[in-house]
């Protein structure tokens, strides 16, 4: 069956006032609109046409419709106007241990200082929907970071010296620990001040990030942690896959995000929310390397598959136009979300169909294949390979 889904935007402080409204074709409200969740996660489950939440619907009717009691993934529209917190996510083992620890300590699951709100890992994939989407993802190669710090003169040298050692990963971890400890406030202030007056051809984007957000996050050591990370500008349709331990922060743009159904976040800066430095360092993978860009593979005419190799999810992007239909085979219960439309989403086995305008979604339960027609673009989240 095909079950339309809806939800309201979440008003996080980093959200855009315009991007989600523009996607949905309505006037902006003036409020920050950061994410729209299409899934059954209890933090903000989608709504079904009869007013039930999706988690309730799956419990009550999922089995009869060919759907599981709960979904392994969460699909979102994400709209950033300023950086999300610098963060990392735990592995499954780390999430289980952390959740049990906080449960045993009696920390309320909705407490602001609670870190592990469930016992699941949270690998995630984001695909750019806006013309560009900016993100920080992974620790940059140290040779490049040293070139950047050298351009900041004496202020950069104080950080660069911390990055020396036999192991690049250990040096990065120790440097991040020092920056976030509160003991490096003078060095952070000096780096931010130097970055605001330094010009660079190679690192114009990185220095521009500091100039743009330094006033928004005064004295925040996350600004200097950001200088250790890969700054990435995705074009529409390009993607990042963030696995457990990968340091990241989305910065600006509109994207479709799919992740394991979890809300476990270890934060390290650029946020007024709770920061758990020891917890972040425990889950962090500090290994330097390139940004974790994920290339899709074509699986049909106008159909691309983003498959990061996790069992929780994969994501299909399908584009239709000029009367050319797209056919998408499904691995299990899926959610189709339009970002341009109208697109008709049909189950050829039953003849059921739903017309999706941009920003609208539908759950496909007990469906082997979807056929898309019309003119637009649809993302389909499904279980992984």
Torsions phi, psi for 2 (to 5 deg): -115, 120
Longest dimension (CA), the chain: 69
SS3 138: strand
Residues with a known catalytic role: 267
From first to last of its 385 residues, what are the pLDDT tens digits of the chain? Answer: 999 999 999 999 999 999 999 999 999 999 999 999 999 999 899 999 999 999 999 999 999 999 999 999 999 999 999 999 999 999 999 999 999 999 999 999 989 999 999 999 999 999 999 999 999 999 999 999 999 999 999 999 999 999 998 899 999 999 999 999 999 999 999 999 999 999 999 999 999 999 999 999 999 999 999 999 999 999 999 999 999 999 999 999 999 999 999 989 999 999 988 899 999 999 999 999 999 999 999 999 999 999 999 999 999 999 999 888 999 999 999 999 999 999 999 999 999 999 999 999 999 999 999 999 999 999 999 999 8
Helix (H/G/I), strand (E/B), else coil: 300: strand
Nearest 5°: the CA angle 257, 261, 267 is 75
d(CA 210, CA 224): 8
Q: What is the pLDDT at residue 314?
A: 98
CATH node for 7-135+234-271: 2.60.120.10
Classify residue 309 by burial, with Cβ atoms within 10 Å: 0-12, 13-18, 19+.
Answer: exposed
Tokens found for residue 375: 């003119």
| Helix, strand or coil, per DSSP, at residue 28 | coil
Q: Say if residue 342 is preceded by a cis peptide, omega within 30 of 0.
A: yes
Residue written as tokens 């006037």? 27
CB 137 within 8 A of CB 248: yes
Q: What is the pLDDT of residue 37?
A: 97
Domain 297-382 has CATH 2.40.160.20: no
Cβ–Cβ contacts within 10 Å for residue 350, how many?
11
């Amino acid at each position: 069956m095909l079950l339309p889904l809806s939800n309201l935007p979440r008003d996080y402080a980093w959200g855009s006032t315009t991007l989600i409204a523009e996607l949905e074709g309505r006037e902006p409200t003036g409020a920050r609109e950061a994410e729209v969740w299409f899934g059954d996660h209890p933090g903000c489950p989608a709504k079904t046409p009869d007013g039930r939440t999706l988690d309730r619907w799956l419990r009550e009717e999922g089995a009869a419709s060919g759907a599981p009691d709960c979904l392994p993934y969460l699909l979102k529209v994400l709209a950033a106007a300023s950086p999300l917190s610098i963060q990392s996510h735990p592995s499954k083992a780390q999430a289980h241990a952390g959740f049990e620890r906080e449960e045993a300590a009696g920390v309320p699951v909705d407490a602001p200082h609670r870190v592990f709100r469930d016992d699941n890992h949270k690998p995630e994939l984001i695909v750019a929907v806006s013309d560009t989407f900016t993100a920080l993802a992974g620790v940059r190669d140290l040779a490049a970071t040293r070139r950047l710090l050298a351009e900041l003169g004496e202020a950069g040298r104080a950080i660069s010296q911390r990055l020396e050692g036999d192991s690049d990963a250990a040096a990065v971890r120790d440097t991040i620990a020092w920056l976030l400890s509160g003991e490096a406030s003078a060095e952070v202030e000096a780096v931010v001040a130097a970055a605001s007056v330094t010009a660079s051809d190679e690192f114009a984007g990185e220095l521009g990030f500091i100039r743009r957000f330094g006033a928004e996050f005064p004295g925040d050591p996350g600004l200097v942690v950001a200088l250790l990370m890969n700054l990435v500008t995705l074009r529409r349709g390009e993607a990042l896959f963030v696995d457990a331990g990968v340091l990241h922060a989305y910065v600006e743009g509109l994207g479709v995000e799919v992740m394991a159904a979890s809300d476990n976040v270890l934060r390290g800066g650029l946020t007024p929310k709770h920061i758990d430095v020891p917890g972040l360092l425990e889950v962090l993978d500090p290994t330097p390397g390139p940004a974790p860009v994920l290339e899709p593979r074509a699986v049909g005419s106008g159909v691309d598959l983003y498959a990061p190799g996790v069992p929780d999810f994969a994501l299909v992007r399908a584009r239709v136009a000029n009367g050319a239909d797209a056919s998408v085979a499904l691995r299990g219960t899926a959610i189709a979300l339009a970002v341009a439309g109208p697109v008709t989403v049909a189950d050829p086995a039953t003849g059921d169909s739903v017309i999706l305008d941009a920003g609208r979604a539908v759950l496909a339960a007990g469906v082997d294949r979807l056929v898309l027609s019309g003119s637009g673009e649809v993302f389909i989240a499904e279980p992984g390979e």
